[in-house]
Homo-oligomer: A and B are copies of this chain.
Amino acid sequence: MDKHKNLQLLKETFSIALDYLENSCSERNLRQNLSPAQLKEAFKISIEEKGADKTTFINYLRKIIEYSVNTNHPFFMNQMYGSQQLAALTGDIITSILNTSMYTYEVAPLMTLIEKECVAELGKYIWKNDKETDGIFTPGGSISNMMAMVMARDSRYPDSKKLGIKHLPELSIFVSDQSHYSFSKNGRILGFGEDSIVKVQSDHRGKMKIPALENAIKKEKKKNRIPLMLVGTAGLTISGAVDDLKTLTIIAKRNKMWYHVDAVYGGSLLLSQKHSTKLSGINNADSVSWNLHKMLGIPIVCAVLMTRRKHDLEKSFSISASYLFHDNEAEFDLGQKSLQCGRRVDALKLWTAWKYEGQEGFEKRIDILMEKTDLFVHKLNENDDFELFCQPETPIVCFQYKPPGIPIKELNELNKNIRTQLFEEGKMLFNYSQVNDKMLLRCVISDDEISANQIDQILEVIRDKGQIILKKSRNSKSDKKRKLVGKV
């Protein structure tokens, strides 16, 4: 393949990329509302015998951007990630061109040291002065949680690595019923079975109820099941709330359970002195999942699984493979701690952002995100036709548009319709979720440059859309009435 010719492609790609990033916060829609069939019609996806010429190819690249969701806009509030840090993006670009695989120091010398530095730094935020912590970058929170479950098993039953789990007693893993779905999924995959995942009742914000947890443990013990692991969540998927990590510590210790904190979303609060207190107790965790591509805005994927003790990862995940891991630099062959063999470098983009912004820059980002969240809440409270669902502990705001005089059931429908229609129009993207009997709107604030005006705009747009929907439904009701009257 002609490298020289293809460098031209790359030059044009870079210019397209800059163009997009320069305009990513502009007024254009965040998405186009096309069904799979319509999108297939609009964009020629199929692979063909002959390659495309350069002009056609470059056009494809432009169209790919056009037909993709603009996640770099402050109004992208649909997922737990958004506007990426550009200093991190520089690291991601360097990662792509260097095309390094992370298994051995031999072929990834600097990337290995950079990953180790990031892991050591993150460890300090969790475990303060404890120097014996460790960690590894993973392909995401679900897999981090899976690896934690494996370590929980292996630390209690080291023989299971060789003999399997068939001969072990029945094991139980306790999570809140609002915890991430990966625990159930992993329970299946790892051969524990979904039944071994005990979903403890939570309060309206999704926080595990402590008495319910204690009852659940008693119940499992009565069934001769061993309480293996307790999972606290810092940053629940819907409400963003944080479990009572301190009390969970006590219960985990008392029952000799592995204590894991799923801080995939909320972990980044640790970077702020002010907000880290919400995670008090996390320093007692045996392992912590933490995704830097969420609140912190590092490009996807940037996820770590952290361990309080130095060798827990190796104990579960190292294996001999002499052709790959030669013996000289074992401490620096990170493949020995990973579920993966070949692995993209996910640490460099975190490192470049950290190096450029400094610890104080990261702290500032988190503080500002929380300030913007508080501002959002303040504005909700100022407006009688909005109702906050619960005080946010992380930059997620759940609320309802609630004009007076509308019955609950209709309110739910109204809110769902508002979200659906705005999503289809593509001007602002946020999610919805049913909690108990309430349909909530849910905005994740991921852009620290979102302005007070833009927050006002969000509420206005929701209100306007709500009013239009209400008016239409009133009209169609009176239409129906008229028709009925006419018929009689």
Q: Is the CB of A47 within 8 A of B121?
A: yes
Q: Is the CB of A94 within 8 A of B61?
A: yes
Q: Is the CB of B166 within 8 A of A60?
A: no
CB-CB nearest in chain B for A108: B69
- In the bound assembly, the distance between CA atoms of A18 and B185 in angstroms comes to 43
- In the bound assembly, the distance between CA atoms of A16 and B94 in angstroms comes to 9
The winner among A20, A97, A106, A339 for most chain B CB atoms within 10 A is A97
Residues of the B chain whose Cβ atoms lie less than 8 Å from the Cβ of A354:
47
Q: Is the CB of A341 within 8 A of B36?
A: no
Also in contact, A99 and B300, with CB within 8 A (given A195-B162, A340-B142): yes
Residues of the B chain whose Cβ atoms lie less than 8 Å from the Cβ of A39:
109-110, 113
Residues of the B chain whose Cβ atoms lie less than 8 Å from the Cβ of A201:
none
Query: Which single member of B182, B332, B342, B449 contacts A301 (CB below 8 Å)?
Result: B342
Q: Is the CB of B14 within 8 A of A68?
A: no
A409-445 contact mask (Cβ, 8 Å, vs B): 1 or 0: 0000000000000010000010101100000000000
Report if A448 contacts B (CB, 8 A): yes
Query: Which single member of B22, B342, B358 contacts A141 (CB below 8 Å)?
Result: B342
Min CB gap A451→B, angstroms: 13
Report if A348 contacts B (CB, 8 A): yes
Report if A34 contacts B (CB, 8 A): yes
Report if A64 contacts B (CB, 8 A): yes
Q: Is the CB of A117 within 8 A of B434?
A: no
- In the bound assembly, the distance between CA atoms of A89 and B12 in angstroms comes to 12
Residues of the B chain whose Cβ atoms lie less than 8 Å from the Cβ of A360:
49-51
Residues of the B chain whose Cβ atoms lie less than 8 Å from the Cβ of A340:
139-140, 142-143
Q: Give the bracket for the number of chain A residues in contact with chain B.
A: 35 or more
- In the bound assembly, the distance between CA atoms of A34 and B106 in angstroms comes to 10
Min CB gap A371→B, angstroms: 14
Also in contact, A69 and B107, with CB within 8 A (given A45-B113, A90-B10, A352-B61): yes
Also in contact, A71 and B45, with CB within 8 A (given A1-B85, A109-B34, A323-B431): no
Report if A202 contacts B (CB, 8 A): no
Query: Which single member of B165, B181, B332, B357 contacts A321 (CB below 8 Å)?
Result: B181
Q: Is the CB of A237 within 8 A of B323?
A: yes
Min CB gap A56→B, angstroms: 9
Residues of the B chain whose Cβ atoms lie less than 8 Å from the Cβ of A165:
164-166, 191, 193
Residues of the B chain whose Cβ atoms lie less than 8 Å from the Cβ of A140:
340-343
- In the bound assembly, the distance between CA atoms of A93 and B97 in angstroms comes to 9
Residues of the B chain whose Cβ atoms lie less than 8 Å from the Cβ of A300:
99-101, 342-344
Q: Is the CB of A86 within 8 A of B9?
A: yes
Report if A359 contacts B (CB, 8 A): yes
Min CB gap A163→B, angstroms: 5
Min CB gap A45→B, angstroms: 5
Report if A150 contacts B (CB, 8 A): yes
Q: Is the CB of B110 within 8 A of A84?
A: no
A180-193 contact mask (Cβ, 8 Å, vs B): 1 or 0: 11101101111111
- In the bound assembly, the distance between CA atoms of A97 and B118 in angstroms comes to 23
24 A–B pairs (Cβ distance < 8 Å), ordered by A: A7-B21, A10-B21, A10-B93, A36-B112, A47-B121, A47-B354, A51-B356, A51-B357, A64-B348, A65-B94, A68-B100, A81-B342, A139-B143, A139-B340, A142-B340, A142-B341, A162-B195, A164-B191, A166-B193, A181-B320, A185-B319, A301-B342, A323-B431, A323-B433
